[in-house]
Structure 1
Amino acid sequence: MTIKKKILLTVTTGIIIALGIVFYMFNAPARDVQATQTDFSYSASAIVNEYLTDAKVANDKYLDEEGVSKVLEIKGTVANISEDFKNQKVILLKNAKDNAGVSATFTKETNAHTTNVKIGDEITIKGVIRSGAAYDPDLEMYENVIIDKCDIVSK
C-alpha cells in the first residue's frame, strides 16, 4: 500500500469517527431533571439572598466545573403566573418584602401541573438554575433567579 493510500485511509477513518461522535452528542437524550435526585432545597428568599450577597460563591455552589446546574427544590409564594413565547408557564416565587424572586419556567410536559396554582399559593418547584439574582445599576432594578425545566413537587 502506498503512503498516499495510508494517509487517505487514516484521514477518512478519523473523519468517520469524528462524525460518529458529533452524531452521538447531538442525539444524546436530554437530562431528566425530575427523575434526578435533588441536590439542594431552599426557600426562594434564601437563594436570592445568596446570589445578591456573593454571586461567585453561589455559582460555585450550584454549578459543577462544566457549568451544569445541580438540581434544586425551591419553596416560595406565587407572586405572578405568565407564559413565555414558547407557551411554557412561568411562575414567579417571591415574598412581598424581597427585592427579587425565583422565576420558574416549566416545560410543555409539566405545564399542565400548573393549572390549579394561584397567586398567593405556597409551592415547591424542582428544576435547574440558569442564572442567579443580581442588581443592575444601569436599569436600577433587580434580576430574578431563573430556574428551568421545572415541575411542582408539592403545593
Structure 2
Amino acid sequence: MKRRKIIRIGIITAVAGIIIAGATGFYLFNMPHRNVQSAKTDYQITAKALVAEYLENADAANEKYLASDGDSKIMEVTGTIHKIAEDFSGKKVIILQGKNDKAGVSCTFSGDVVALSPGATVTVKGVINAGASYDTDMELYQDVVLNNCTLVI
C-alpha cells in the first residue's frame, strides 16, 4: 500500500512537471516579438563613429549597447551605402561603410526595402546584435550587426 502511494505521488509530480514545462515553452514560443519600428530610439550615431567606438574599446561599447537579456539598444545609424546583398533567407542586407573605413555596419531588413543604390546616404533604425572587431586569424575586420532594420525617412 505504501509503495503504491509513493508511485502515485511520483507519477502526479512528473505529469505536473511536464504540463508546467509544456505551458512555459508554449508561452515563450508564442511571445510577441519586439516592435523595433514603433519603439523609441536609444541612440542616434553615424556608422563611422559606431565602428570607431567598437574598434577603440569593444568591452565599453558592448556594455553601452548590448544587453545579455536580449533587449539590446535600438539605434539609428546614418551612413553611406557601400554594398547591397541578400542573406541566406532572402532578406536584404546593406553595408554602411565609407571608402577608407576598416569596417562597416551590416543592416539586415525585416521587410521590403525601397530601391537603394550604393553611394546613397541613408539612416537605418534597428537592434544592435554584435559589434565591430578584428579577426587576427583571418586578418579581417568584422562589421557591426543590426537586425530588424527599417529605413528612417
Shared fold per TM-score greater than 0.5 = yes
AA at the equivalent of 1:131: A
Contact between 2:66 and 2:129, CA under 8 Å: does it hold in 1? no
1:88 aligns with 2:88: no
TM-score normalised to structure 1 length: 0.88
Counterpart residue number, 1:114 = 114
Contact between 1:89 and 1:114, CA under 8 Å: does it hold in 2? no
Deviation at 1:26, TM superposition (A): 1.4
Question: Sequence identity of aligned pairs in percent?
Answer: 44
Counterpart residue number, 1:138 = 137
Contact between 1:88 and 1:105, CA under 8 Å: does it hold in 2? yes
1:36 aligns with 2:35: no
Q: Point out where structure 1 has 5 or more consecutive residues left out of the alignment.
A: none
AA at the equivalent of 1:57: A
How many residue pairs match? The answer is 150
TM-score normalised to structure 2 length: 0.89
Q: Larger radius of gyration, structure 1 or 2?
A: 2
Deviation at 1:58, TM superposition (A): 0.7
- Secondary structure of residue in 2 paired with 1:127: strand
CA spacing shift, 1:138–1:5, aligned 2, 3 Å:
closer
- Secondary structure of residue in 2 paired with 1:151: strand
Q: Deviations over 1:113-150 (max 9, x none)?
A: 332x1111111001111211111122222111111111
1:26 aligns with 2:45: no
Contact between 2:51 and 2:105, CA under 8 Å: does it hold in 1? yes
- Secondary structure of residue in 1 paired with 2:152: strand
